Structure 1
């Protein structure tokens, strides 16, 4: 009887999680896509502003090189002001982090964008920096963080339902079902992350070209990232980011689709 009751409770919890996820649908005004999100743009902005100081602290705070930091801000704002991004409600701010060892860049919801000194010093051109910042802007306008939060709530609800339905305190072996369910949920969210990265690459092609930067520089960025990883990233399926080599082919395709008649002349390298 207890087993049946737990199964019913788990089933109800799963149903509530699924209904909540599928009913929270909004159209992204920038991409035109239907998305499952359960927060407003204003909430995204507030969340990003709240998290920004803590994220900066994890990377040693802001970089002391004011000239380099200003260059990051200037290029970031060029991408915003010379594209449709300027029409979005997001207030973009670009930050150079003091960590000179870590190779990373990331965006918080709402428009707070960061790049580490460790990644910046590996770049060879403004166009490469524009490609990275354009990629992170893409995450923001595509509302990837809001999507990820909604998906995380869904998988948390489903894995919780599975744990309730399968766990038996008198049978320690039943814990395995909950562990497997949690692993499946984690892998699902990783897959979503890789799709987001590829979409941001495509958006970065649009943004860099609109601002007068050569989007082909993004392919060089992928090679830089691949070199920085030392080729030891492991199987792509178990990574949150796509293999840089695979992203190069996607970027090439995006450039061809965006510029079927060839790239404009005099693009900044």
Structure 2
């Protein structure tokens, strides 16, 4: 009982230090127990470790990933500046890499480190499809979804104390938690995020890709292709899943399309 009281007190102290925040663009309230500076440092360590085990590809496809990433990044910065929310990416050091893997996967670490897997490119098919995916993954980082997920996992594993994360207790586990929270090792990072986070990333990512000059209507085609590519895999029913079904995701994207097209038209001016 004494240990539980001490833990709850520590959690309350941390909760007081890290106040309730608003997710940029959507305005959803969230509570993260890990300071951004500490989360970004842990993410960089996990990302560096990942790249030692998964060497980046250097070819025309990798150039495309970097090109699309730079355009999406510029659009995000513009959108945040217009909303006086540039502090949301303060301390981000953007980087884009393509790694050789058959997985249909891509993710963005807190702090702006983006990885795309070669197995995803046959499904994205073109730069607009890739922009939708990269916008979605970047949105997870901007919305601090990885921090939310990491906070939950570190509380469960006793790695979170008043004042921050006790990395020294188990650095390997901390790296695993950060990578999983970012979506490394899962299909498009979908299994690591809640359905509300996925929908939020869809919305932010769609707007940012459109503002970058990519046709947002490609998002519907992309997820139709993703559904086709996923045929045969044993997906759980939506109510048991941590992410929306393909049909639900497509329906929501179609509802967001009028506003996304406004951003797309704005990009042409």
Report the counterpart of residue 144 of structure 1 in structure 2: 145
CA offsets, 1:179-215, max 9 Å, x none?
xxxxxxxxxxx79622211100000111011111111
Please name the residue that 1:124 is paired with: 125
Calculate the TM-score normalised by the size of structure 1: 0.72
- Say which SS state the counterpart of residue 56 (structure 2) adopts: coil
* Contact 2:20–2:29 (8 Å) recurs in 1: yes
Q: Where does structure 1 lack aligned partners over 5 or more consecutive residues?
A: 1-7, 158-189
TM-score by length of 2: 0.72
Residue 217 of structure 1 corresponds to which residue in structure 2? 218
Residues 13-162 of structure 1: matches in 2 within 5 Å? 15-16=8-9, 19-20=12-13, 22-23=15-16, 24-28=18-22, 30-31=24-25, 32-56=27-51, 60-64=54-58, 66-82=59-75, 83-84=78-79, 87=86, 88-89=89-90, 90-99=92-101, 101-155=102-156
Structure 2: runs of 5+ lacking an equivalent = 159-190
CA offsets, 1:112-171, max 9 Å, x none? 1111100012222211010000001101110111111222244556xxxxxxxxxxxxxx
In structure 2, do the counterparts of structure 1 residues 16 and 235 end up closer, same or farther at CA, with 3 Å as the change threshold?
Answer: farther
- Structure-1 separation of matches of 2:246 and 2:6: 39
Query: RMSD between aligned alpha carbons?
Result: 2.9
Query: Larger Rg: 1 or 2?
Result: 1
CA distance in 2, matches of 1:265, 1:202: 17
- Change in CA separation of 1:256 and 1:194 when aligned onto 2, cut-off 3 Å: same
Number of residue pairs matched by the alignment: 224
